A and B are shown apart, each in its own frame.
Chain A
């Protein structure tokens, strides 16, 4: 049953992706991207990744949509038809897809418990968090305690991103050269 739900959700994801690629109205693209994020959060719940699903739903479908709409309001909202032919990008994409499919055929079946990924570090984290009486949520225990340095770096990256946006967008708009009549209102 779980596999059936997962297959349906993944197929819906692929359909939304095709719609995003072909849609030319950027407002529609932004709304489709929000739908895509919610579907991705549902897929993540089926994959037992509940923390990641909450983050993807709030960040991907919330903040991303707001910031994209704000940028769309400040620029334009129509995408022009492509000038160059799409044969070369399609060829590159097909070759990349073929190489990746050939590579992932060697991966173990979905959901096996004796895949190599479950053998080395993960059982140590699970056992250590039980032995040390850490909080029950193992993801928080690993994120904030066993791998605290990585989270410090991640917080610094968010801080740097915020500083970058503030540096770019705070401050007065530069007067465009052929905009002298409207220049007075921009000051």
Chain B
């Protein structure tokens, strides 16, 4: 890839984000017509990626990128092959139509600019995801799609239902993203490469690794949550709370296909194992059947489509994991077909809702006259969804039956699953496309008429593309299907299927599907009632399960918080000091590192040094026997001053200087705290508590003494002291080593510390103010032992050790 094309791709990847930035501004000035301008961004992206199709059609792949964090071998690199090119074209192409559609659908909405910005942000995330080569980039964009979809689903944030749906989608897909991250890191660890394009050579190694199953489960955790596989499918129908353009974009062509994309991407390296070929078809097949059955139950157009999306995703997962080249080809064709017809149908559902004022299929009818263009585009999409010629959906369904049909029981089971699933999807497709339009006109909440061009342009274009792709199937296969199938299979594949069916089992199965579909369609009402009855009998679903889980998490965290954060300072101090005592004493005993008895006789302490030590001891004894708190505080000050004197005598003037000041201020502040909190002067705690605290304090003190003795027994390594003494003046221009270390050698540390000091000051001030405002607390705090710790407010202490 030449440098020019490389920087162009880089720019293109960021184009949606730039467009999102200007979207609110443009919308303020151009109103809903801003959509025409904003749609140029996805269009430009589409054209850029179309430029790659010649190379991709020849079976080449294009990679490029820049270093991101070279120290960790993390790159911003992309990989464009058949798979990512098809996805990129779908994302940008349908994205352009969705932006236009949003312009019409959200016309006059006060937050239209914000909505368009979110859509474009999502587009950028999705585009980044499918072209990512490096694992980290893949993961970042993966989570970015979760976050932007959270914004989109919760767009109508005044309604509780949409807030819940948004949160649910975020928890499920974001959680799956974390599993994916773990899986990617494991792959990185096993193979040593962090790029998808390099990974292809390591398939053997990965499959033979003892961690293969763990990797597989983690990656599937990401894919199954994103692609709404049973039993994690519940978030997708709930996400229908979002405005319809979101559903048409995220929940048909893009977001939910990310999971399928991931599976297809890793098929060459993770696939072709018994685990892969068991788990995927089973989950996919179950999702296919459950999705269609639940779709039958619905009467809301959007929900019907949402559940069939769940089942289509199931079919895709099933095919991806089936293990034959035929299945891969079928998955590729079905993915493209589904993106086209499902996007169109969602947009149609939105247009009906927008123009007629309801989405309930029972309250709609006879709209054909009023909305002819919408009706035709809905019909075209439904024909594709039902797998009838001459649409692209027909090719996909034929290929599906080619792939599945075989005579062993495993294949027969899945053929049966596919036939039933397809028949039911046929039913839903035509229910959405026919029921609102045919029959006698019904009184609708709004007087229905054809929507503006912005609303019908999208479905019409998608329908036309679906038709053209099937009619010129050789071109489609050359540029799209074959390269994509090759990328998924990991070796060159050729897709050849055309509209002219060959007589054989697949065609027979198609006929059975259509026949079944017509039967079901005629009995849709009975089926719906039967399903509703069945669901009532079961009475529980994963959706309720989600709520129960969330409540459980909240209860659990509250219980844990109650234990570890009881809110009593005394408990915190006690736990802290017990841990200090344990940390000091246990290692010394376990590793036999106790110090020997110090040789007092050999010490050459002078009388004034001994006098200072005596003062310190007297201060200490006074603290312990002091009857009231003020005396104790002052005695503590005496002891601290004596220590400062010792520092002075042993040649640490800086340390001693600081110690003096800290001690003075500690005494002043502690005395102030006492008067401020109106603490009673004598200390009246129960005897048992006194014994316990003195025991802990004693062990801490003893531990420190032993520790210091042990340390001084060893040989001091003076190399650092020598280094500082030697270089502090010549390279840091300062003779005071302590100060030079503080502000120069370790200046960044000090910067962090003064940050902590400011934050601590803010916190203390806030605490004092809370007390001032809420005088009622004063009496209750009186009995709580805020003052029991020797220096609860000596906040200079952390910095003291530095100075």
Does B associate with A?
no
Interface residues of B (CB under 8 A from A): none
Interface residues of A (CB under 8 A from B): none
